[in-house]
């Protein structure tokens, strides 16, 4: 092993990335599609690799997402495809790569970064902590079929409705003060709606996208701005109950469907946890929403060894649904936390749980739970 270098992946290195990928994630098809897709990350400086001499031995890429936090959109670098060649593992290469990813998130101006961890250890060392879950619930198709909503006009949708879908989802997440769902680049929404295996329908204030999944049906996303639309769209999916017995659905644990369906979701709900990290603490606080009625003034001491710009004494003010983190004088009363505690707090983890795990020490809780509370963070998509 010569001295390792962090580089931007280039087109002629994609073959090596593919080789490391199949050694990491297993056999894969559609190399052509993956390569086309990979180019979009290269073009925009969002694909990072590690070279040993001329050999590419590790790579990772970043999605340019926005993520809803308490009803507001916060730019978020979604880290994916983190791979290290088997013969280079266990020697700090993954850590070297992820440090470069964090720095690139700084350079790109993402206040947040998130990922689905295959192992938490690597990411926790770098300041990521669990932020929320992706839930896959299963409902009885026959239950959904009879939900009604027959007075609601529903039409077939396609690629040309991408902007409309983003707008409808945005309205719903803003009014529900959602935390967690991603906003994808519009080109990806177009590709999703264009795929003939995805069935998309739209009403005045909502839409659904679903597909077949091993003889059953699976809802990728269902947004409804009213009870009638929720009934109409779920019933559209449930109309497949003569063939499909089950409808799997990616949705939040407080989606109205849980209150509408006669039978509760099956006991075997699948949960994938995702992790979050604040890249720029003041920007992340300023961008997210806070509960309208909460007023908070408190001191925090943040120690962030990976991103020293976050380290320091801060004053957190919350009022009128917004928050601000401003530099402050050191205070012995300040609550102390590192990046993991900060990420989990941002995602609404109760302070008592963070104290119990040693991720917050000192200070008083002084209304922090109320400030960061809200509907449970969730994501619909894996990336
Ligand atoms: C996961 C992976 C990227 C780690 O790369 P690496 O170069 O071995 O990581 P590092 O040597 O920098 O290890 C960093 C820390 O993570 C730990 N770690 C690495 N792989 C681990 C694993 N599979 N399980 C538990 N801990 C692990 C290391 O022990 C080290 O912690 P320590 O310093 O406390 O001992 C690499 O094993 C890999 O490519 N795996 C297959 C693909 C994959 O799972 N990618 C992650 C997708 S989210």
Domain at 369, CATH number = 3.30.1050.10
Q: Which residues pair with 344 in a beta bridge?
A: none
Question: Is the domain of 151 the same as that of 116?
Answer: no
Ligand 1 centroid to residue 122 C-alpha, Å = 5
Using CA atoms, how far apart are residues 5 and 49, in angstroms rounded to an integer?
8
Question: Is the domain of 231 the same as that of 294?
Answer: no
**Among 93, 127, 161, which residue terminates a domain?**
127
Using CA atoms, how far apart are residues 74 and 182, in angstroms rounded to an integer?
10
Task: Give the pair of three-digit tokens for residue 124.
Answer: 């926790």
Question: Is the domain of 254 the same as that of 305?
Answer: no
pLDDT (0 to 100) of residue 330: 96
Whose C-alpha lies nearest to ligand 1, atom 15?
Answer: 122
Question: Is the domain of 192 the same as that of 258?
Answer: yes
Ligand 1 closest atom vs CA 115: 48
Establish whether residue 99 lines the binding site of ligand 1, counting it when its CB lies within 6 angstroms of any ligand atom: no
pLDDT (0 to 100) of residue 365: 82
Of 141, 178, 129, 193, the C-alpha closest to 339 is: 129
CB 209 within 8 A of CB 94: no
For a ligand 1 pocket test, name from 122, 124, 272 the mutation site with the most ligand atoms within 8 angstroms of its C-beta. 122
**Among 111, 127, 143, which residue terminates a domain?**
127
Ramachandran bin of 52, using left for φ above 0, alpha for ψ from -120 to 50, beta for the remaining angles = beta
Question: Is the domain of 232 the same as that of 164?
Answer: yes
Ligand 1 centroid to residue 264 C-alpha, Å = 39
- Residue carrying the six token digits 């917004």: 322
Q: What's the half-sphere exposure (Cβ side, CA atoms, 13 Å) at 44?
A: 13
CATH number, position 122: 3.40.630.30
Ramachandran bin of 81, using left for φ above 0, alpha for ψ from -120 to 50, beta for the remaining angles = left
Interstrand relation of 296-302 and 335-337 (parallel, antiparallel or unpaired): parallel
Question: Is the domain of 172 the same as that of 298?
Answer: no
Question: Is the domain of 141 the same as that of 255?
Answer: yes
Task: Give the pair of three-digit tokens for residue 246.
Answer: 């089950």
Instruction: Name the domain count of the chain.
Output: 3
Ligand 1 centroid to residue 360 C-alpha, Å = 26
Instruction: Give one DSSP letter per residue of 59-123, joined into a string.
Output: EEEEEEEEEEETTEEEEEEEEEEEEE-GGGTTTTHHHHHHHHHHHHHHHHT-SEEEE--S-HHHH
Ligand 1 centroid to residue 148 C-alpha, Å = 50
**Among 272, 291, 326, which residue terminates a domain?**
272
Establish whether residue 80 lines the binding site of ligand 1, counting it when its CB lies within 6 angstroms of any ligand atom: no
Ligand 1 centroid to residue 20 C-alpha, Å = 14
* Residue 219: C-alpha distances to residues 164, 222, 255, 269, 381 (Å): 18, 7, 13, 14, 11
Whose C-alpha lies nearest to ligand 1, atom 37?
Answer: 89
Establish whether residue 124 lines the binding site of ligand 1, counting it when its CB lies within 6 angstroms of any ligand atom: no
Ligand 1 centroid to residue 307 C-alpha, Å = 21
Q: Is residue 292 assigned to a domain?
A: yes
Q: What is the CA radius of gyration of the chain?
A: 22
End-to-end CA separation in angstroms for the chain = 31
Ligand 1 centroid to residue 96 C-alpha, Å = 11
Establish whether residue 97 lines the binding site of ligand 1, counting it when its CB lies within 6 angstroms of any ligand atom: no
Q: Is residue 183 assigned to a domain?
A: yes
Ligand 1 centroid to residue 119 C-alpha, Å = 7
Whose C-alpha lies nearest to ligand 1, atom 22?
Answer: 119
Ligand 1 closest atom vs CA 94: 7
Question: Is the domain of 206 the same as that of 172?
Answer: yes
- Per DSSP, 305 falls in state S
Establish whether residue 84 lines the binding site of ligand 1, counting it when its CB lies within 6 angstroms of any ligand atom: yes
Question: Is the domain of 64 the same as that of 151?
Answer: no
Enclosing domain of residue 268: 135-272
Using CA atoms, how far apart are residues 166 and 171, in angstroms rounded to an integer?
9
- SS3 of residue 251 by DSSP: coil
Using CA atoms, how far apart are residues 7 and 85, in angstroms rounded to an integer?
16
Q: Is residue 167 assigned to a domain?
A: yes
Q: What's the half-sphere exposure (Cβ side, CA atoms, 13 Å) at 247?
A: 30
Using CA atoms, how far apart are residues 338 and 187, in angstroms rounded to an integer?
37
CB 291 within 8 A of CB 371: yes
CB 307 within 8 A of CB 106: yes
Q: Is residue 381 assigned to a domain?
A: no
Q: Is residue 301 assigned to a domain?
A: yes
Ligand 1 closest atom vs CA 20: 39
Give pLDDT tens digits along the chain (383 positions): 679 999 999 999 999 999 999 999 999 999 999 999 999 999 999 999 999 999 999 999 999 999 999 999 999 999 999 999 999 999 999 999 999 999 999 999 999 999 999 999 999 999 999 999 999 999 999 999 999 999 999 999 999 999 999 999 999 999 999 999 999 999 999 999 999 999 999 999 999 999 999 999 999 999 999 999 999 999 999 999 999 999 999 999 999 999 999 999 999 999 999 999 999 999 999 999 999 999 999 999 999 999 999 999 999 999 999 999 999 999 999 999 999 999 999 999 999 999 999 999 999 888 999 999 999 999 999 99
Instruction: Give one DSSP letter per residue of 128-182, joined into a string.
Output: -EEEEEEEEEEEEHHHHHTT--TTS--EE--GGGHHHHHHHHHHHHHHHT--S-E
Give Cβ neighbours of residue 83 (< 8 Å, ≥ 6 apart).
17, 20, 21, 23, 24, 25, 58, 59, 60
Interstrand relation of 199-203 and 322-327 (parallel, antiparallel or unpaired): unpaired
Q: Is residue 382 assigned to a domain?
A: no
Question: Is the domain of 240 the same as that of 222?
Answer: yes
Chain-centroid distance, C-alpha 128: 13
For a ligand 1 pocket test, name from 121, 125, 382, 383 the mutation site with the most ligand atoms within 8 angstroms of its C-beta. 121
């Amino acid at each position: 092993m010569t001295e390792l270098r962090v580089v931007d992946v280039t087109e002629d290195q994609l073959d090596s990335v593919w080789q490391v990928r199949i050694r990491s994630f297993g056999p894969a098809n559609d190399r052509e599609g993956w390569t086309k897709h990979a180019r979009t990350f290269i073009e925009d400086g969002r694909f990072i690799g590690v070279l040993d001499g001329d050999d590419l031995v590790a790579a990772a890429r970043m999605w340019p997402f926005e993520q809803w936090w308490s009803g507001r959109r916060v730019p978020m670098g979604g880290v994916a495809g983190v791979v290290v060649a088997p013969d280079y593992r266990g020697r700090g290469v993954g850590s070297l790569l992820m440090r470069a990813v964090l720095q690139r998130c700084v350079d790109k101006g993402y206040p947040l970064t998130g990922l689905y961890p295959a192992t938490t250890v690597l990411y926790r060392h770098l300041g990521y902590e669990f932020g929320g879950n992706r839930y896959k619930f299963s409902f009885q198709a026959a239950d959904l079929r009879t939900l009604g909503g027959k007075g609601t006009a529903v039409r077939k949708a396609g690629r040309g409705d991408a902007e409309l879908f983003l707008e409808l989802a945005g309205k719903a997440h803003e009014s529900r003060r959602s935390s967690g769902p991603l906003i994808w680049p519009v080109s990806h929404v177009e590709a999703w709606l264009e795929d003939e295996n995805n069935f998309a329908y739209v009403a005045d204030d909502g839409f659904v996208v679903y597909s077949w999944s091993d003889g059953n049906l699976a809802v990728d996303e269902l947004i409804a701005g009213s009870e009638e639309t929720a009934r109409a769209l779920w019933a559209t999916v449930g109309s497949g109950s003569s063939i499909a017995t089950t409808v799997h659905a990616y949705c939040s644990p407080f989606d109205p469907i849980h209150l509408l369906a006669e039978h509760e979701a099956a006991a075997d709900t699948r949960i994938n946890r995702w992790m979050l990290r604040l890249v720029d603490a003041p920007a992340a606080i300023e961008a997210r929403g806070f509960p309208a009625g909460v007023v908070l003034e408190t001191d925090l001491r943040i120690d962030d060894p990976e991103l020293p710009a976050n380290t320091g004494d801060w004053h957190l003010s919350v009022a009128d649904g917004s928050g601000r983190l401003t530099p402050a004088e050191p205070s012995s009363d300040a609550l102390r936390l590192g990046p993991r505690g900060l990420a989990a707090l941002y995602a609404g983890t109760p302070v008592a749980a963070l104290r119990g795990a040693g991720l917050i020490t000192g200070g008083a809780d002084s209304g922090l739970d109320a400030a960061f509370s809200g509907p449970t963070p969730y994501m619909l998509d894996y990336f």
